[in-house]
Amino acid sequence: MAEPGRSARVVPSARVQEKRRRRRREILQAALRAFRQRGYHETTLEDIAARLNIRSTALYYYFPDKEAILHACHREALEEVEHILAEALRRYSAAPDRLGFVISEHVRVMTDSLEGTPLALDTTSLSPSHAAQVIARRDRYENAVRGVIDEGIAAGVFRAVDSKVAAFVIFGAINWIARWYRPGGSLQPAELGARFADYLTGGLTCR
Amino acid sequence: MAEPGRSARVVPSARVQEKRRRRRREILQAALRAFRQRGYHETTLEDIAARLNIRSTALYYYFPDKEAILHACHREALEEVEHILAEALRRYSAAPDRLGFVISEHVRVMTDSLEGTPLALDTTSLSPSHAAQVIARRDRYENAVRGVIDEGIAAGVFRAVDSKVAAFVIFGAINWIARWYRPGGSLQPAELGARFADYLTGGLTCR
């Protein structure tokens, strides 16, 4: 409930709202980098705040605790890949094009912004109810991609592989990127995405 | 240096040697299961000993500390996959057969005995010199597999893919198994290995 005297703050101006959205995003990015470099358990709110040159108390305006930050990282990553999948279905009708787009774009968000990397994190650090939500939503995404493979098999453009195993291979290869990829290396995100897509859809279209 | 009075213990009988080898293996297997279930940092020597119904002091006969156990797990996993690669080169001459054998057998040691899973562990828990040894040896193995892909490309039996990226895809997909595979599930190790090999060599042989 807003106190009458604070009502001016309840609906902030568009400029303030935009500033807060940006700051929230900066916090998530700084947290993600800290989690990747130090591990989630070793990272403190102070570490995250120090990366942004702010006091850790300022973080509480946005997130109640570290677990809430982790959960937000997971949610944003899921939004990102769900958006990619929707875009693939909207733009293309053939299964190889759809799958190729999903793979290359998913690789891009793993490497370019690192914003896909929470999908490669263990969910054991989330609260049980958050972990259950994240796992269910990730399963929905992975099953939808598996559905694209099944469509391709039904249409005769993909070999009759086990789509469950194929999805394990695809998401395993993509998630593992979080373990070895270093931004600024010789492999550019878009190129890496295209090569992953080429190899992994190639394994389905031949023979 | 053996003390003269203890010389009888210095060269134990074949039966005793065999018993020790077996016990050493049991310790590594118990440790590996504990590391997978609780994480390396959360696992204590007491946890490992409890799984074997022995006192933790008995572990010191075999390993000076937990890091030595982790290092031994890594070394055994590397021996296992090096053996698989040597076997592939000995048995087959065509690149698709060699690569298919390596993939299916590597998947098998990830799932059947779980003994390949240390290859999917982070090396940051090892001492710097052990980590360097393990990384160098793992790189040699992965480069040798990449060499098989290059051979296939040179022979015209594989498409001209980027073998470095193909190796990242293959080992990413295989290593990720450590994250989702639960022994006793619906996918049998040999079947899973065959399907991984079929999909991942299929991505190279077509067109």
Question: B105-122 pLDDT, tens per residue?
Answer: 999 988 877 777 788 887
Tell me the average pLDDT across A24-44.
88
The residue assigned the tokens 């990384």 is: B135
pLDDT of residue A17: 87
Q: Say which range, A37-51, A72-86, B90-104, has the weakest mean pLDDT.
A: A37-51
Q: Please state the length of chain B.
A: 207
- Check whether B72 has a pLDDT greater than 90: yes
Span B12-63: which CATH code?
1.10.10.60
Q: Assess contact for A171 and A141: CB atoms under 8 A.
A: no
Closest CA to B191 of B107, B92, B127: B107
Tokens of A158: 């993909």
**Minimal C-alpha gap between A13 and chain B (Å):** 45
Q: Could you tell me what percent of chain B has a pLDDT over 70? A: 93
Band of the pLDDT at B3, cuts 50, 70, 90? very low
H helix intervals, A39-184: 45-51, 56-59, 66-91, 95-111, 128-154, 163-180
pLDDT of residue A9: 55
Closest CA to B161 of B101, B103, B202: B202
For chain A, the domains span: 12-63, 66-207
Residue A107: other Cβ atoms inside 10 A? 25
CB contact under 8 A, A199 and B165: yes
Task: Pick A195's closest partner by Cβ from B165, B200, B205.
Answer: B165
H helix intervals, B39-162: 45-51, 56-59, 66-91, 95-111, 128-154
Q: Say which range, A75-84, A108-117, B40-49, has the weakest mean pLDDT.
A: A108-117
CB contact under 8 A, A165 and B192: yes
- Check whether B10 has a pLDDT greater than 70: no
Q: From A162, which residue of chain B is nearest by alpha-carbon distance? A: B195
Q: From A171, which residue of chain B is nearest by alpha-carbon distance? A: B173
The model's pLDDT over B17-35, given as tens digits with 9 standing for 90+, comes to 898 889 998 999 999 889 8
- Check whether A156 has a pLDDT greater than 50: yes
Band of the pLDDT at A206, cuts 50, 70, 90? low
Tell me the average pLDDT across A187-205.
86
CB contact under 8 A, A199 and B175: no
Tell me the average pLDDT across A140-151.
95
Tell me the average pLDDT across B88-104.
96
The residue assigned the tokens 């020790």 is: B20
pLDDT of residue B206: 61
Closest CA to A178 of A106, A117, A124, A102: A117
Q: Say which range, A9-13, A201-205, B2-6, has the weakest mean pLDDT.
A: B2-6
Distance between CA atoms of residues B156 and B169, nearest Å: 21
Find the farthest-apart pair of alpha carbons in chain B and give their distance in angstroms, rounded.
71
Closest CA to A92 of A174, A201, A173, A168: A201
CA torsion, ordered A70, A76, A80, A85, to nearest 10 deg: 90
Distance between CA atoms of residues B136 and B191, nearest Å: 31
Report the Cα B112 to chain-centroid distance in Å: 11
Distance between CA atoms of residues A86 and B8, nearest Å: 73
**Minimal C-alpha gap between B21 and chain A (Å):** 34
pLDDT of residue B86: 97
CB contact under 8 A, A176 and B176: yes
Cβ contacts of A203 on chain B, cutoff 8 Å: 199-200, 202-204, 206
User: What are the φ/ψ torsions at residue A54 (nearest 5 degrees)?
Assistant: -125, 170
Query: At the fourth CATH level, which superfamily is domain A66-207?
Result: Tetracycline Repressor, domain 2 (1.10.357.10)
Residue bearing the bigger pLDDT, A168 or B6: A168
Residue B160: other Cβ atoms inside 10 A? 9
Cβ contacts of A199 on chain B, cutoff 8 Å: 161, 165-166, 169, 203-204
CB contact under 8 A, B207 and A206: yes
Residue A103: other Cβ atoms inside 10 A? 26
ipTM value: 0.84
Tell me the average pLDDT across B43-61.
91
Distance between CA atoms of residues B51 and B32, nearest Å: 11
Q: Helix (H, G, I), strand (E, B), or coil: what is residue B95?
A: helix
HSE-up (13 A, CA, CB side) for residue A70: 23
Q: Which residue of A40, A110, A165 to mutate against B (max B Cβ within 10 Å)?
A: A165
- Check whether B5 has a pLDDT greater than 50: no
Tell me the average pLDDT across B173-181.
89
Name the average pLDDT for chain A.
88
pLDDT of residue B2: 44
Distance between CA atoms of residues A136 and A143, nearest Å: 10
Q: Helix (H, G, I), strand (E, B), or coil: what is residue A60?
A: coil
Secondary structure letter of residue A184 according to DSSP: T
pLDDT of residue B9: 55
pLDDT of residue A124: 84
